[in-house]
Structure 1
Amino acid sequence: MAGPPPKPWPTGQAMQLEPLVRRVLAPNPSPYTYTGTQSYIVGLGDGCAVIDPGPDDPVHLLALDAAIGEEHVCAIMCTHTHRDHSPAAKTLAARTGAPIVGCAPLVLDDSGPRADAAFDRTYEPDRVMENGEAMTGPGWTLTAVATPGHVSNHLCFALEESGALFTGDHIMGWSTSVVIPPDGDMGDYMQSLEKLYAREDRVYYPAHGEAVDKPRQLVRGMIGHRRQRESQIVRHLGEGPHTSADFVPKMYKGLDPKLHKAAEMSVTAHLIDLERRGLVARSGDIWQTI
C-alpha cells in the first residue's frame, strides 16, 4: 500500500478531470480511505449525476453544493453502501429532489470490528440498477457494471461518452481493495477483475486515489497479485496448520499495524475461496491443506 501524497490535499475543491467529469474530495482521510472519499459530478451544466456522494459531512455537502451550483441534479448514484460512500445521498436527495439510484441496499451486523467502513443503514435507493442498465442525462450515459467481491452489491459506472469507468472501491488508485467475509467474496472479486480486464475502458476514476490511465495493465497486475497471495497461502500451509492471523507477519512484512486486521481478513477471504475449491480445510480457526 502506498502512503498518501504530501499535504495539502485538494479537499473540498471541484477538480475538472475532463469535460464531463468533476471530482470533489471529502475530508475523511484514514488508513482505509487514503486522502478521503472522492465524489464525482458528471455533466456539462444542463443536468448532472453525483456518484458516491460520500459521508454525511456538512463540510463535504457544502463543497458538493458549491460544485453543483445551479445545475439540476438528475441522479445520485452509489457504487456500494459503506459509510464513506453513500450516507450523504439521503441529505443531498432532500436538498435537490434527485432520485437515489445504483447499488442495492445492504446492511450486515458484524460480530467484531471491521477493517473497513461499516455499512450505511440510511441508504434507501429509489431505483436499483442491474448490470447493463443505464442512467441518462443531458449529454451523458452511465451504465451499471456489476462488480461484486469487495461487497456483494458493488457496482461500477461506465461513462459511455468518454470511455471512463467509475470504479468505487473495486479498483482504487492507491491500493488493492480489501475483501472482508462474510459479504466480501474473493471468488467473486477475481471474476469481477477478469470482467473489467475484458473491457476497453480508457480511464478509471476510483473513489480513493488518483485516476488510472492504464486500466488493463493495472487489472492484470492486480489479478497476478491475488494469485501470488494465494500461492503464498498454499505454500505456508504446506509447512503446517495456520490461523488466518499467522499468515500476516509472513506475507505482509513491514505493514502498518493499523492495517493488520485488513490483511488478516484478506487472507481469510482467500482461504474461504480455496476451501470452496476443495484445496484447504478448516477446523475451528485452524486451516490446513487437504
Structure 2
Amino acid sequence: MSDIPFERDDGAIAGPAVSLESLVRRVIAPNASAYTFTGTCTYIVGQGEVAIIDPGPDDPAHLAVLLDAVRNERVTQIVVTHTHLDHTAGLAALRAATGAEVVGCAPHFSARAPAGDEKVEAAADVAYAPDRVLTDGERLSGDGWTLTALATPGHTANHLAFALEETGALFTGDHVMAWSTTLVAPPDGSMAAYMASLDLLRERDDRIYWPGHGGPVREPRRFVRALHHHRRQREAAVLARIEAGDTRIEDIVDKLYTGLAPALRGGAALSVFAHLESLIAAGAIVADGPAHIGGRFLRR
C-alpha cells in the first residue's frame, strides 16, 4: 500500500558524533529496536555555545559520547521535542553534567482524557519538568544559531519541531521520519491532530528534515505529500473494512497489515484505533458503546 519514498539505508548507526552540516552534529544512542530503528538521534546545534536536542535514553555510554563531543564547549540549552522516554530518559544526567537550561515541549499530557481502562503510554515521561516551555513560534538563540519552535501535535499532544533558521533544516522529532511512518497512539496521540500538523508542514519550505530516528528526509515537501496521501488511504482502507463487516480492531489489523512482525502488532492496533477515532469524529462510523481499543465499530 505504501507509496512513501522511505530511506532505510542511510548508515545512521550508534557511535561517535558525526557532523551533518555546518551547525549540526548527531550522536545516535545505542537503543535500536522495532520502534526506534537504529537508535534515538541526539543533535548538537552550533559551535562553541551549543544546544542539545533530545538527550535520548538514560545510557552512560551515550552520555559519555555526547560529553566528549562538546568538550571545551558550553551547552546552554537542552531542547526537548516530546515526552517519550527514548528521547528524555537521559535528561537528568545530561543536565547534571552540563548545568544547561531545559527548554522545549510542555510536560506530558494526553490528546484526550483516557476512557475506561486506558492508561497513559508506558513510554511517556510523566516526570519531565522543563525550566521553560516553548510555544509555537518562540525562538531560542545562541552564538550563530536560531531555533524556532513549531507545534506539531499528533504523535504526542505536546510535540514540537524546531527550525534552524540559518540553514533551513527542521528537527522533526518523531513527527516525520525517513525510515517509517509515525506511531499515533490514543489517548496520548491524535490522528486528527497529526494530519493537521502534516498540513502545516506542507505549507513550509524547509530544506531538509533531521528526525528523531534514522537518516534525513531530503525532499521534505515530496515526502510529506506522500505521507499525507498514505494516511488518507489507510483511513479509507479502515473504513472499507468496517463496511465489509470487520467490527473489531484485531480483525482490521489482520486484513490490512499482512506479514506484520509480531513486535509491531500492538502499534498497528493503536494506529487503527487512531484512524477509527478520526472516522467517528467525522461522523462516518460509530462505536458500540464508549470507543476503546477492544470495542466494536460500526458503519453509521
Taking structure 2 as the reference length, the TM-score comes to 0.91
What is the CA distance between 1:84 and its match in structure 2?
A: 0.2
| Paired residues of 1:87 and 1:122 also in contact (CA < 8 A) | no
Task: Could you tell me which runs of 5 or more consecutive residues in structure 1 were left unpaired when the two chains were aligned.
Answer: none
Distance 2:8 2:201 in 1: 26
Mapped to 1, the partners of 2:66 and 2:178 lie a distance apart of 22
Alignment partner, residue 83 of structure 1: 85
Q: How does 1:170-209 map to 2 (within 5 A)?
A: 170-209=175-214
Counterpart CA distance in 2 for 1:107 and 1:118 is 13
Task: Output the amino acid matched with 1:102.
Answer: G
Q: Which residue of 2 aligns with 1:287?
A: 297
- 8 Å Cα contact 2:140-2:148 kept in structure 1: yes
Equivalent residue number for residue 33 of structure 1: 36
Q: Which residue pairs with 2:13 in the alignment?
A: 10
> C-alpha offsets along residues 109-130 of structure 1, whole Å, 9 cap, x if unaligned?
985798x861113321000000
Cα separation, partners in 2 of 1:23 and 1:186, compared to 1, 3 Å:
same
What do the CA deviations read for 1:160-203 (whole angstroms, capped 9, x no partner)?
00000000000112001000001200000000000011000000
Gapped regions of structure 2 (runs ≥ 5): 290-294
Q: Which residue of the partner structure matches residue 156 of structure 2? A: 151
Does the CA contact (< 8 Å) of 2:12 and 2:215 recur in 1?
no
Q: Is the 8 A contact 1:107 1:119 kept in 2?
A: no
**Structure 2 CA distance, aligned partners of 1:35 and 1:177?**
15
SS of aligned partner of 1:242: coil
Identity of aligned pairs, percent? 50
3-state SS of paired residue (2:187): coil
Distance in 1, matches of 2:225 and 2:109, equals 31
Query: Of the candidates 36, 46, 51, which is equivalent to residue 53 of structure 2?
Result: 51
CA distance in 2, matches of 1:113, 1:106: 13
Aligned to 1:24: 27
Q: Give yes or no for contact 1:4–1:35 (8 Å, CA) kept in 2.
A: no
- Output the aligned Cα RMSD: 2.1
Native 8 Å contact 2:8 2:215 kept in 1: no
Number of equivalenced pairs: 287
Q: 1:101 corresponds to which residue?
A: 103
Answer yes or no: is 1:126 the counterpart of 2:131.
yes
Structure with more relative contact order (C-alpha pairs < 8 Å, separation 6 or more): 2
For 2:216 and 2:246, locate their aligned partners in 1 and report how far apart those are by CA, in whole Å: 41
